[in-house]
Amino acid sequence: MEPFHDLDRWADIEQEMVREGIPLPLEHRASWIRDISDSQYRFFVVRDEGSGSLGAATAVRRNETRTLPGHYYARATRFGHGQNTESLTSLLASLRAWVGHDPRLLGVRVEIFEGDDERREALDAAAADLGYARASDPRRYARTARVDLAPTEEELLASFSASCRRFIRDPAKKGYRVEPVTDERWASRMHELFVETFARTGGGMRPPDWSRLIAYANEHPDLFRIVGTFGPDYPDEGSLVAFASARNNGDHAEYADSASTRRLGTTVAVHYAPMWELMRWAKSCGCAWFDLGGITGGTQGSDDPVGGISDFKRRFQGREIDVGHEWTFEPTTVRTRLAEGVRAVAALARRG
């Protein structure tokens, strides 16, 4: 199969997937690619040769490389969840062949996301058989906490730890309000909170365009949600003290970005209520479960810089599951060896 880049054609395939009940990650949807993503994409589709029915499909992001101008790498994110394993194997083979057909494409990275152990192991085996190698520098989480959204809201809330339930109620008792962020005037404050948060954790993530994300959430309220915690001085600009967002990936919602300030002058739990509101939103959208966005083995005070965040997620009592590995295919060519050499020199320069 040949990749294509026609976004309107992909939007038609997306609607076909929705009609057939095939889960589609938000970051693969045409509206997200058009309105939010700054990258170029290629699309792959596998159909049954006999019936013509859709077997599997994926959006693949092109990442230009500075080490070798005019060349790029490709990245398939959240690959495989809820789709036909046999068709996904054909997709893996097509991605591998694409690398050989496009001399500017230096390699492809596939980030498998599959909570079912048997299906994930089958995809891992298929990738290995096709000559992919396990990535030594994974970009996404391999393990997460899954919260089942089938119970009623009362039952779900009761399933959380006692401290979690107390923290969810904490803001309202202290005069704070928790509600969706719908006004783009909060974008600059969200940027401030994001920078402050990542300075604490040591992360190097580039801040998103919050104005675009707020606009997207307003236009697609069933696909993306941002919830904020606002202080008693609402609606002053500094009254937004925390926020969190989630993406609807079809059968489940994914906890995405969050940030907060610790400069409150009082003790109040500001993270828990937005997370709870996101779960309520996901349930109302028909999602079967909530992905808490990755969890590590560390705890607060350990060497793990995000151990405290993992402690926070564990209080929602989700079931911890493995969701995937990352695989790369990079043929040994003069171009790839040159790119690897330039990357190595750049890394040495940064360290020295």
User: Residues 2-39: pLDDT tens digits?
Assistant: 899 999 999 999 999 999 999 999 999 999 999 999 88
Number of residues in the chain = 352
Alpha helices in the chain (DSSP H): 7-19, 30-35, 85-101, 117-129, 153-159, 162-173, 187-201, 210-219, 272-284, 307-314, 334-351
Q: Give the chain's domain count.
A: 2
Residue 115 within any structural domain of the chain: yes
Confidence label for 324 from pLDDT (cuts 50, 70 and 90): very high
Global pTM value: 0.90
Q: Is 313 found in the same domain as 240?
A: yes
Residue 19 within any structural domain of the chain: yes
Comparing 350 with 67, the larger pLDDT belongs to 67
- What mean pLDDT do residues 301-326 have? 90
Residue 158 within any structural domain of the chain: yes
Pairing of strands 252-260, 289-291: parallel
User: Residues 116-153: pLDDT tens digits?
Assistant: 999 999 999 999 999 999 999 998 999 999 999 999 99
Residue 340: pLDDT over 80:
no
Q: Which domain holds residue 81?
A: 7-142+323-351
Q: Is 347 found in the same domain as 311?
A: no
250: left (phi over 0), alpha (psi -120 to 50) or beta: left
Tell me how far apart the alpha carbons of residues 177 and 230 are, in angstroms, rounded to a whole number: 5
Residue 317: pLDDT over 50:
yes
User: What pLDDT does 345 receive?
Assistant: 42
Residue 45 within any structural domain of the chain: yes
- Amino acid identity, position 33: I
- What mean pLDDT do residues 213-233 have? 97
CATH number of the CATH domain containing 186: 3.40.630.30
Q: Is 165 found in the same domain as 200?
A: yes
Mean of all residue pLDDT scores within the chain:
90
Nearest by Cα to 324 from 124, 179, 126, 172: 124
**DSSP assignments along 56-82, one per residue:** EEEEEEEEE-SSSTT-EEEEEEEE-TT
Q: Is 238 found in the same domain as 347?
A: no
Q: Which residues pair with 45 in a beta bridge?
A: 57
Q: Is 176 found in the same domain as 43?
A: no
Residue 299 within any structural domain of the chain: yes
Confidence label for 338 from pLDDT (cuts 50, 70 and 90): low
Write the CA distances from 60 to 29, 39, 91, 328, integer angstroms.
Answer: 11, 10, 11, 13
Q: Is 294 found in the same domain as 184?
A: yes
**DSSP assignments along 177-198, one per residue:** EEEE---GGGHHHHHHHHHHHH
Q: Is 204 found in the same domain as 64?
A: no
User: Residues 62-118: pLDDT tens digits?
Assistant: 998 877 888 999 999 999 888 889 999 999 999 999 998 888 999 999 999 999 999
Residue 315 within any structural domain of the chain: yes
Confidence label for 298 from pLDDT (cuts 50, 70 and 90): confident
Confidence label for 349 from pLDDT (cuts 50, 70 and 90): very low
User: What pLDDT does 332 receive?
Assistant: 62
Q: Is 303 found in the same domain as 172?
A: yes
Residue 2 within any structural domain of the chain: no
Residue 86 within any structural domain of the chain: yes
Q: What percent of the chain has pLDDT over 90?
A: 73
Q: Is 164 found in the same domain as 133?
A: no
Q: Is 123 found in the same domain as 200?
A: no
Which of 3-7, 40-44, 325-329, 338-342 is least confident? 338-342
Q: Is 254 found in the same domain as 335?
A: no
Q: Is 303 found in the same domain as 162?
A: yes
